[in-house]
Amino acid sequence: MAEDVFKALADPTRRRILDELVERDGQTLFEICARLVNKHGVGLSRQAISQHLAVLEAVGLITTRRQGRYKFHDLNTDPLEHIAHRWLRPKTPESTP
For residue 73, which of 25, 30, 40 has the smallest C-alpha distance? 25
For residue 31, which of 54, 60, 53 has the smallest C-alpha distance? 53
Residues 93, 81: Cα–Cα separation, whole Å: 24
pTM for this entry: 0.85
pLDDT tens digits, one per residue of 36-79: 999 999 989 999 999 999 999 999 999 999 999 999 999 999 99
Does residue 66 sit in helix, strand or coil? strand
Domains in the chain with CATH codes: 2-89 (1.10.10.10)
Q: In sequence order, what are the residues at sequence separation of 6 or more whose Cβ sits closer than 8 angstroms to the Cβ of residue 76?
A: 60, 61, 62, 63
